Chain A
Amino acid sequence: MSQAKIEVRNVTKVFGKSPQQGIKMLNEGLTKKQILEKSGMTVGVNKANFEIKAGEIFVIMGLSGSGKSTLVRMFNRLIDPTDGQVLIDGQDIVKMKPEQLREIRRTKLSMVFQRFALFPHRTVLSNTEYGLEIKGADKLERKQKAMEALELVGLKGYENSYPSELSGGMQQRVGLARALANNPDILLMDEAFSALDPLIRKDMQNELLELQEKMEKTIIFITHDLDEALRLGDRIALMKDGSIVQVGTPEEILTNPANDYVERFVEDVDLSKVLTASHVMKRPEKILLDRGPRVALQIMKDVGISSVYIVDKKQKLLGAVTAQDAADAVKNSKTLEEVMTHDVETIAPDTLIADMFERVANATLPLAVIDENHRLLGIIVRGAVLAALAGDEIQLNGNGVN
């Protein structure tokens, strides 16, 4: 994730009779509403500026009419920008001649559409082959690559069906396969999952994330759904009335809304699907194994807790001991090793709160958050989880999911 794959500079789209006039009005500082009243022209996108890094999922989010679909169509010039530059790998596509533009569309950019936009007169296979066919790839290569793409999206065996014979979810898989068969660097997904029902939609989101791990494409994903944006986005751009209001990681947007609009947008969000163990974990009370039960008991007394975690010198989690057991050990002069329990529930720091409710509720000891080397990072106590969900920012740790 280093240099910018796509740079969007001052990109503006004005729909209407004399768009250049609209640009002038924008430069004079008029708002979208004022321009509409004065001239009848609609500002689709107003001076968008941001960069998209190679390999990230960049979500553009906004309500309908916010200009997000217009913006994404300017990346492959299905809509021509009125002003500004769109640099893809440093090349300004706004200045490209039709042949160059076709070449870019054939090789670098593929698009997935909200209403699937499959060709009804073509089979699934032939739909998937479309991009390759346009490029002039030979039949064998076409078929082979299309079959690979279909297999990738789990549609092997359907290649001879027609789109109308498939369910919505399957149709959109074809749409995705058609885009992937071309092996583009960049995938433009315009509300790709919005037409699907919620369960299918979630499956598709998960599959996209899985695919992305293998493919590492640069994905630009348009959505009006905040949950979807938070789930998928490495970074999110929030749009309102044609302007980009905020660009940031899901966390930055949630915890640090740029203005009232963003704040209102995010206030209803289901925090349990955004916050992770690392956000809500507390500093653990821990002791080394070779300290005795008396030390353990003393620590628990000092801090006022009923259990303490036992680690080795490398901070690796070994187990835990409760006050009861420690007291027993002192009485019967046993070592910590003899009385400690190895049966401590552990979770990874990037686990979503939504995914750990049950374990938090059932655990007798607080859950231990450990990293991949089994080192103890923190513990999850019920109170902190509830406080975080209640929106108590003081309870949140600044460190994020990476």
Chain B
Amino acid sequence: MIPKIPLADWVDTFVDFLTDKLEPFFDLISEGIGNFVDFLVFILTSIPPILLILIFAGIALWLTRWTNALFTGVGLWLIYNLDYWEATLDTLALVLTAVVISIIIGIPIGIWMSQSDRARNIILPVLDFMQTMPAFVYLIPAILFFGIGMVPGIIASVIFAMPPTIRLTNLGIRQVPEDLIEAANAFGSSTKQRLLKVQLPLATPTIMAGINQSVMLSLSMVVISSLVGAPGLGADVYRAVSQVKVGIGFEAGLAIVILAIVLDRLSQNIGKQKQN
């Protein structure tokens, strides 16, 4: 008989080691992300709610059809009316931060994958792992590294939400037709020129679809993030569940749905806007 492999112990030891040795590093990240979120929340909350609702509706009108603008206006007003405005802004800040980090890290990795088959072969299984591992599990090391609050929630969201941005960046670049790549090469483009002038512009719609996916996935993480103390709509849902309050649960859940639809429509259409 082979004895049970002490995998859990190994992971514990490894995480302890990281916590121990890399504490200053994690503190730095924690502080940076924390400041960024605080800054976002500060800006969002300092705008009068009605004005902010109008701004969102205006953006929707500019990017898409008037029906979406109407939905945005009415939906956000409903959230405001139900008194979930501040929680919504917290959630929005959390989602935006997670998405910004996903973009900053994800697009370069996606580009790297698209340029090297070896990189792709190594990264793809990692992405599969990141997406299939239950998101709750990320919370544990996140607490150890970053304490409780907004930051571990964001980190967990990033891990869960980043893969689509990476995947679709890679896919978008690889999907650029071979003859266009040949044309770019035939005129003597360097790798960088080819990337910036041909591959990335043509991959933009696909990359935007990936970012849209990341937005949606990070939004799906808000309830889970509330388990580690991230404020926002997720916390309201969590509270309603633990106290078995159906009405409040429905209200908070509805606010998440509205925010999801608004963000989905907006982020989808940023891509289309760019395409033209």
Contact = CB atoms under 8 A, between A and B. Distances in A.
B258 to A, nearest CB: 34
A118 B180 CA distance: 7
A90 B188 CA distance: 20
B23 interface: no
Given A120-B202, A121-B202, A76 B183 contact: no
Interface in A126-158: 130-131, 133-135
A78 B188 CA distance: 10
Interface string A101-126: 11111110111011101111100000
B65 interface: no
A130 B188 CA distance: 10
A106 B179 contact: no
B186 A110 contact: yes
A119 B198 contact: yes
Given A120-B202, A133-B197, A110 B183 contact: no
Contacts of A134: 187-190, 193, 197
Q: How large is the interface on B (under 10, 10 to 19, 20 to 34, 35 or more residues)?
A: 10 to 19
A76 B187 CA distance: 10
B45 interface: no
Nearest to A99: B190
A132 to B, nearest CB: 9
A50 to B, nearest CB: 22
B182 A78 contact: yes
A104 B190 CA distance: 13
B202 A109 contact: no
A397 B19 CA distance: 93
A117 B188 CA distance: 15
Most buried by B among A110, A119, A135, A188: A119
A131 B188 contact: yes
Contact of A182 (B187, B189, B201, B202): B187
Nearest to A133: B197
B193 A76 contact: no
* Interface of B, helix, strand, loop or mixed by DSSP: helix
B190 A102 contact: yes
A293 to B, nearest CB: 69
A131 B184 CA distance: 9
B183 to A, nearest CB: 4
Contacts of B13: none
B185 interface: yes
B183 A113 contact: yes
A106 to B, nearest CB: 4
A321 to B, nearest CB: 62
A106 B185 CA distance: 10
A105 B186 contact: yes
Given A113-B179, A117-B179, A134-B193, A106 B202 contact: no
Interface of B: 177, 179-180, 182-190, 193, 197-198, 201-202
23 contacts: A73-B182, A78-B185, A78-B186, A102-B188, A105-B186, A105-B188, A106-B188, A111-B182, A118-B183, A119-B197, A119-B198, A119-B202, A120-B202, A121-B201, A130-B183, A130-B184, A130-B187, A131-B187, A131-B188, A134-B193, A134-B197, A135-B188, A178-B187
- In the A-B complex, the 3 residue pairs with the closest CB atoms: A105-B188, A106-B188, A117-B183
